[in-house]
Amino acid sequence: MEYSLLQNFLIALLLGALIGLEREYAKYRKKGHDFAGIRTFPLISLFGALAAYMGVLISPWILIVATVLVGVLIIMAYFAIADNDKRQHMGATSEVAGFLAFFIGVLCYYNEITFAVVLAVTITVILYARSFLHHFAQKMKREEMADTLKFAVIALVILPLLPNQGYGPHEIFNPFVIWLMVVFISGISFAGYVLMKWFGERGITLAGILGGLVSSTAVTTSFSERSKKEKKIFKALALGVILANTVMFVRILIEVFVIHRPLFYKMLLPFSVLVAVSLGFSYILWRKADEAKGKMELASPFTLGPALKFGIFFAVILALVKLGDIYLSTKGVYIVSFISGFADVDAITVSLSQLAKTTLSLDIARNGIVIAALTNVAVKGGIAYWFGDRKRFGKIILGLYLVLIALGIGLLFLF
């Protein structure tokens, strides 16, 4: 027997045991029924690997018959347990997991180890998160469910149908790229919103961090208005705003990392400095801030109107940056970056990241994104000062943001 074959069988056994361990724990916690546990699941995965091995060694029909046999046994076990169970409605989660465990064993035999591991871990997480998922679904509003379906349609139905080629003068409009960025940015906002729903009221600090994934400007506006009414917790509110802005810096880096890796390395040092200064100041403020509960009301970030508006805005910014680079050279890119920073950082970030792949130099793209980020920081500093409590809350935010802007400008000249 080859060592690699033995290794694959062992991995199948371990992955099945991982799922079985969770099911055994669920039975112990009275959150699952007696279908299978720590012993049965690894045997099912091992059976899958063995069936695949015999299918190659003898006949493919062995794997087909084994698959049908496992399905029949699982169905029989389900009805047998249902007859003994007094509950009117009984789920089939464990049974479906058992069937998937069989195919995990098959994947292991065919040396698809990475896919098998990802699948096993995903199944285990879904099984373990039973209570959270049920609770999350129960708390969903009708509008949130509709927005989730819209996101699925836009990401999985519309995007694959769009042509991936340039149109117009200088091929400035690419429908696929434009819509891909809509899906990408909306996905980040949607993930942030899900986290907000997950954690609920866990303090102003957490609301600021999670809110920064959705919109740091929304966090700034919301907390600024609150600082006028709840002056005793101005430090905690200021901390939430600063952390939301710090998350914006991190979000920019993530966007660039996904789109164009060489540009990410160019941006890593200046943005790391801005993040480090923000976190250092946040730590000092956190030590002085009072404990305070906080909840930031955010509408579901994915509705069709805002998504289409972002797509149009991104397309316009992309076109302006391209034309500015052609006719005005470097100055045109910087002007567009400065203007776009007043409204949205994501659009200019993804635009410059895309252009850096082809016509735009990495240095110009990096400087443009930094300019847009600093402009956006200045706008939020103005919101905090003019719409919040100016004496304490506004001064804290504006003071730090002026330092960040000065640092950012200095880094532009330095690099």
Whether the per-residue pLDDT at 277 is higher than 80: the answer is yes
Residues 354, 323 share a domain:
yes
Residues 168, 201 share a domain:
yes
What's residue 293's pLDDT?
46
Q: 390, 235 in Cβ contact below 8 A?
A: no
276-284 long-range contacts (CB < 8 A, ≥24 apart) are: 277/403, 277/404, 277/407, 278/242, 278/243, 278/245, 278/246, 278/249, 278/400, 278/404, 279/246, 281/242, 281/400, 282/239, 282/242, 282/243, 282/246
Task: Show which of 136, 151, 179 is a domain's final residue.
Answer: 136
Higher pLDDT, 35 or 202: 35
- Most confidently predicted of 26-30, 73-77, 91-95: 73-77
What's residue 292's pLDDT?
46
Residues 267, 356 share a domain:
yes
Residues 271, 154 share a domain:
yes
Whether the per-residue pLDDT at 108 is higher than 90: the answer is yes
Burial class (CB in 10 A: 0-12, 13-18, 19+), 284: exposed
Task: Show which of 104, 136, 168 is a domain's final residue.
Answer: 136
What's residue 61's pLDDT?
93
Task: Show which of 84, 112, 136 is a domain's final residue.
Answer: 136
Residues 173, 39 share a domain:
no
Half-sphere exposure (CA, 13 Å, Cβ side) for 136? 15
Whether the per-residue pLDDT at 192 is higher than 60: the answer is no
Averaged pLDDT for residues 242-256: 90
Residues 204, 84 share a domain:
no
Residues 157, 115 share a domain:
no
Residues 396, 248 share a domain:
yes
Residues 124, 97 share a domain:
yes
What's residue 303's pLDDT?
55
The total of structural domains in the chain comes to: 2
Q: Could you report the per-residue pLDDT of 110-145, keeping only the tens digit for each? A: 999 999 999 999 998 888 877 666 666 666 777 777
Q: How far apart are CA 22 and CA 10, in angstroms?
A: 19
Whether the per-residue pLDDT at 103 is higher than 70: the answer is yes
Residues 145, 132 share a domain:
no
Averaged pLDDT for residues 196-209: 59
Whether the per-residue pLDDT at 294 is higher than 60: the answer is no
| Beta-bridge partners for 173 | 167
Higher pLDDT, 399 or 216: 399
Whether the per-residue pLDDT at 29 is higher than 80: the answer is no
Domain of 122 in residue numbering reads as 3-136
Residues 282, 155 share a domain:
yes
Whether the per-residue pLDDT at 28 is higher than 50: the answer is yes
Residues 211, 104 share a domain:
no
What's residue 80's pLDDT?
75
What's residue 47's pLDDT?
93
Q: Could you report the per-residue pLDDT of 299-348, keeping only the tens digit for each? A: 555 555 655 665 676 677 667 666 665 666 666 778 888 877 776 687 78
Burial class (CB in 10 A: 0-12, 13-18, 19+), 201: exposed
